[in-house]
């Protein structure tokens, strides 16, 4: 993401003053001491006064674009020894060149200095974990606005600066863009920023130079093992957020063994949360028969209002007897955990418990997370309830379908794909999770990227078939498996199957379209085509309603 929204030039620092923060740097000879008013690692977005960071990349080296950066107004270049060797005279004769062995690791601190350490003027909340980051971020941001705070939001779906919004290119922006964003937020009167913090961002130094007032941990399950060598490395990346270099305090959900371990290992003060369901390392689920929930600072209890207020629960602190009466506005026990985490984040920022509960009562708008998609005419006979959700890990698929199962008297139909060029090992487990919970599994394409779509679908189907074989052997009901092919056709097929089943049985069906959530494009090869699950679902519902109307006229 080049300079987001509009970038205001920072007051800046002279290059020599900036380099006092970087004692390991080797500047080029000469007395040039330009004023640095911005930092970027994208040569296309250079503005006059910028320090251009020429970093080694996967396919090219940023030094190859340094001449372009200088022509656009870069006043200095930061690079590594290999980058220095690639620079031509057009660069070295024109601007100072600063060489460090690991420039990416230096970039966050430098950007923070150039932009006046803007993050220190804001209440900063950072959320990490495999699932639930986006939902929890929106819950926290919505509650802060309800409390009268002027907020910023940085995450998977979008970036917000007050009332201005911009689509996000990645969950957590590069350090240069992040500190520019924080400076822009400060300039526009934002006083609290809620961020999703990915494991990639922590490993790749994207949040260096930021110290969060409160860091939150949702959960950890298999994902991103195309980037991290194993789950241990994935965990360590997440855990690094809970150190004094990156945060002042933490709120950790200890429903899984990773969370319990993080709470024990964290080197900042941590508040722990348990919802009463503990996932053990073997994947089994245990209730209150033992486990980390017994030692949690806050626990979730049933609410006497639950029948009259769906989603109501009590957050209880055994040590003091304090309670918060809360409502989860989104379906599923995992959203109870997200809601409770958000409430505890507010409390950790100094918000009173009653005020936090009142702020959390305001329903949030969370795009593509358990989002209901309905046609204008909801009275079409047999029309299924349709839900779009971002679930794209085995645990998230299982949790989403578990949430929908109790409120689906008829058939639960899931549309499921998996992204190409990403963690391949999770695909069979995703298919298995879908087959365990759903009546019909329609396997389709997600973002195939450079992979053959049919090979991705086959991996999902392999996991689903193994589960179906187990179900058949035990005499349990067996899920129907469908290779639905292209995504729009698969969604239409799922809606048709659910509609037919409902008309035949008289029982309402549900269609869950998982994996892409808020996304507005589908990447096939190197091209991203416009595609939104919500639009495809609506088109399928309208088509099914048209068929129903035609059938009624001819009967």
Which positions make up the binding site?
41, 43, 129-135, 171-172, 198, 206, 422, 446-449, 515, 519
Helix (H) / strand (E) element for 153: namely: strand 151-154
Q: Are 433 and 394 in contact (CB under 8 A)?
A: yes
Cα distance between residue 128 and residue 255, in whole Å = 15
Phi, psi of 74 (to 5 degrees): -60, 135
Q: Which of 381, 423, 405 is nearest to 510 (CA)?
A: 405
**DSSP state letters, 377-435:** -TTSTTPPEEEEE---SHHHHHHHHHHHGGG-SS-EEEEE---TTS-GGGHHHHHHHHH
Question: Binding site membership for ATP: which residues?
Answer: 129-135
Cα distance between residue 20 and residue 22, in whole Å = 5
Cα distance between residue 374 and residue 386, in whole Å = 7
Question: In terms of DSSP H, where are the helices of 438-532?
Answer: 453-474, 487-505
Cα distance between residue 129 and residue 184, in whole Å = 27
- Sequence-ordered strand ranges (E) for 241-296: 250-253, 270-274, 278-279, 285-286
Q: What is the DSSP letter of 195?
A: E
Helix (H) / strand (E) element for 66: namely: helix 66-71
The neighbour count for residue 477, using CB atoms within 10 Å, is: 7
Q: Which of 498, 492, 420 is nearest to 459 (CA)?
A: 420
Q: Are 6 and 46 in contact (CB under 8 A)?
A: no
Q: Are 351 and 317 in contact (CB under 8 A)?
A: no
Parallel, antiparallel or unpaired: strands 385-389 and 371-373: antiparallel
Cα distance between residue 291 and residue 235, in whole Å = 20
Parallel, antiparallel or unpaired: strands 412-416 and 510-514: parallel
Q: Are 161 and 152 in contact (CB under 8 A)?
A: yes
Cα distance between residue 36 and residue 52, in whole Å = 10
Q: Are 418 and 430 in contact (CB under 8 A)?
A: yes
Q: Are 171 and 211 in contact (CB under 8 A)?
A: no
Angle at 124 between CA 119 and CA 127, to 5 degrees: 130
Cα distance between residue 417 and residue 429, in whole Å = 12
């Amino acid at each position: 993401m080049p300079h987001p929204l509009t970038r205001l030039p920072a007051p800046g620092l002279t290059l020599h003053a900036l380099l006092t923060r970087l004692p390991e740097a080797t500047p080029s000879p000469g007395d040039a001491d330009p004023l640095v008013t911005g930092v970027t690692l994208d040569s296309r977005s250079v503005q006059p006064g910028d320090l251009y960071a020429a970093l080694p990349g996967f396919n090219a080296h940023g030094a190859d674009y340094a001449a372009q950066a200088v022509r656009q107004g870069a006043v200095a270049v930061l690079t590594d020894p290999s980058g220095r060797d690639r620079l031509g005279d057009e660069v070295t004769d024109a601007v100072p060149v600063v060489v460090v062995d690991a420039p990416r690791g230096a970039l966050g601190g430098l950007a923070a200095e150039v932009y006046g350490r803007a993050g220190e003027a804001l209440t900063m909340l950072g959320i990490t974990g495999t699932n639930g980051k986006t939902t929890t971020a929106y819950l926290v941001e919505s509650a802060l606005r309800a409390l009268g705070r002027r907020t910023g939001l940085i995450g998977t779906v979008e970036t917000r600066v007050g009332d201005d919004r911009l689509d996000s290119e990645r969950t957590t922006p590069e350090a240069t863009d992040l500190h520019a964003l924080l400076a822009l937020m400060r300039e526009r009167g934002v006083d609290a920023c809620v961020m999703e913090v990915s494991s990639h961002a922590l490993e790749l130094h994207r949040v260096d130079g930021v110290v969060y007032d409160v860091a939150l941990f949702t959960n950890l399950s298999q994902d991103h093992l195309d980037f991290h060598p194993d789950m241990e490395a994935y965990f360590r990346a997440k855990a690094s957020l809970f150190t004094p270099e990156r945060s002042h305090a933490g709120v950790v959900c200890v429903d899984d063994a990773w969370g319990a371990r993080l709470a024990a290992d964290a080197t900042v003060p941590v508040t722990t949360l348990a919802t009463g369901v503990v996932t053990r390392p073997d994947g089994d689920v245990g209730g209150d028969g033992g486990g980390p929930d017994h030692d949690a600072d806050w626990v979730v209890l049933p609410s006497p209002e639950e029948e009259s207020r769906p989603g109501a629960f009590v957050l209880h602190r055994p040590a003091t007897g304090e309670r918060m009466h809360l409502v989860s506005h989104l379906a599923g026990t995992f959203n109870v955990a997200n809601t409770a985490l958000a409430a505890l984040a507010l409390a950790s920022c100094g918000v009173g418990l009653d005020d936090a509960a009142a702020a959390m009562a305001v329903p949030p708008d969370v795009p593509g997370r358990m989002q209901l998609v309905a046609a204008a005419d909801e009275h079409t006979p047999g029309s299924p309830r349709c839900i779009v959700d971002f679930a794209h890990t085995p645990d998230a698929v299982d949790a989403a379908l578990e949430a929908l199962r109790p409120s689906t008297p008829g058939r639960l139909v899931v549309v499921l794909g998996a992204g190409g060029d990403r963690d391949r090992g999770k695909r069979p487990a995703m298919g298995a999770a879908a087959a365990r919970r759903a009546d019909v599994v329609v396997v389709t394409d997600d973002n195939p990227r450079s992979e053959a779509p049919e090979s991705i679908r086959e991996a999902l189907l392999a996991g689903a078939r193994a589960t179906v074989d187990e179900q058949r052997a035990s005499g349990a009901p067996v899920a129907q498996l469908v290779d639905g092919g292209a995504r729009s056709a698969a969604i239409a097929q799922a809606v048709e199957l659910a509609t037919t089943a409902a008309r035949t049985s008289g029982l309402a069906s549900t269609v869950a379209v998982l994996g892409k959530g808020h996304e507005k494009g589908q990447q096939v090869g190197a091209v991203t085509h416009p595609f939104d699950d919500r639009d495809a679902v609506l088109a399928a519902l309208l088509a099914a309603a048209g068929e129903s109307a035609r059938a009624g006229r001819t009967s």
